[in-house]
Copies of this chain bind each other. A is one copy, B any other.
Amino acid sequence: MGLKLTSHIEDYLETIIMLHKKKRVVRVRDISRKMGLSMPSVCAAIKVLSKNGLVNHEKYGYIELTKQGENLGERIYDSHKILIKFLKEILNTDFRTAEKDACKIEHGISGNTVKRLIAFVKFVETCPHPEGADWLKSFNYFYKYGKRPKEGKVRKIREKS
């Protein structure tokens, strides 16, 4: 099972998955707009995806995901989502930064690391309240003031930059 895609090509696949979830039908133009790339660039990428059996596409038609393409795309998209979650909900970075960073990070990261990250996010989310308050709130306090909150000290801390 070779199938070596570049991270750029994976980006296209991920975008197709995302569009597919919303639109049911995906065209070159949609991808082009979403990714901010020219249509010829998209065309070229589609050809590569097609050659690798990840999409079906006949000239001037819609772009359909094959089963394989859907599987791989979902996997990539899952990494994306977990990263976003980690960046936004745990590190508490702002939305735009999280999106930008996730895109940079997600490719090439090993499956195992993603698995661990997923577990980690779950672990943190289900964390009991060890310090008399929510664990994540404690982190935000820590980030802001450089020290841990005293028992019962944490209220709401909104700090996004």
Show the binding face of A for B, using Cβ within 8 Å.
Answer: 87, 90-93, 97-98, 100-101, 104-105, 107-110, 112-113, 116-117, 119-120, 122-123, 126, 128, 130-131, 138-139, 142-143, 148, 161
Contacts and interface: CB of A to CB of B under 8 A. Distances in A.
Nearest to A116: B91
Contacts of A142: 119, 122-123
Contacts of A109: 101, 104-105
Contact of A116 (B105, B119, B143): B143
Given A104-B105, A104-B107, A119-B143, 16 more contacts: A91-B120, A93-B113, A97-B112, A100-B108, A101-B108, A101-B113, A112-B161, A119-B142, A120-B139, A120-B143, A122-B142, A123-B138, A123-B142, A123-B148, A126-B148, A130-B131
